[in-house]
Structure 1
């Protein structure tokens, strides 16, 4: 167990932080929701009712979809685009998907390579793009959940003000939906761009996301090995 925890500390650590943050969001969100209900003379709701409500789902989903869109685009972009000196990028001249020999696939695979990497054909192609496929799928599902939950919230607010309900297609082109969406997208793109640029010139000793401290600015971590 100790070895398992050590070998998986990074993923387990972030999983724990995620669970704690999500639980805290649900507690604080419930308190805020009940304050809003009290101001309108309505009775408070319980935690279970809140975390299964559209109001909670839309807040969670709109953040998830922007995060996974960020990873989807960054994974795709780093296949073809490079940034000299950044450890977040391949070195200039290595753009593209690489040869089968470089990627250890098909006839060039090792005995301990993943089975689908050795298979070739459709299975090999799917596995070669599996990270992008999964990130894209989670983004689409989160975006869909955000749009459906947001529609419910918007129609509840419309009903309170005596306004007609919106269809899903109408909500998708509404300012409310795109305000929720774009305010998350722009922050994610800024964070990724800043990480790429800052890691050219700044260092964090011991971090896998940083070049060795003494590596020249114009050299990537790959080139310095």
Structure 2
């Protein structure tokens, strides 16, 4: 089950499985638009709190909203607009914290370009694996809880997602160090010191060799845009 289909199923269940496709898709559009405040607002919040604490605030806030949606589901089911707004806030807070900060943390805590791109690639790969696992795990969990036709089936994913958000916030608090705008420069300096302590020659780090410079120069000279010299 992909994310769009899951949202459509939620919208149909909360509207009493209405046959109106426009009604279900309309609420999905509203919910998806509420991603934007979280993404944009989180970009400003991170300047004040830093990536670590912005991530924690986003995760804890998302968990709080998720627990509210789970506990008050029967009441919210009677008020479609309230459910849609809370669900949108739940998704938006996911962008404030994890959406904005995971890649930033991977980038800011890694030295040199070669290690940096590996760290970002690993972070992206782990995220994709988690998304893939969720598309298989959550439908099975919902089925075990009674399916979308039961309150437990609809609230179960929110209980689990909120608990995982709390766990992620705890892991972030314990294992992620605060970083600032000069964090990458500090990581580069520490990495250079580490290499020198272990006997590596760092005098040529960041300096292009004559061979690589000559190859790049030839490629630039022979490029189709510039013509053959």
TM-score calculated relative to the size of structure 1? 0.28
Larger Cα-atom Rg:
2
Task: Considering fraction of residues, name the structure with more helix.
Answer: 2
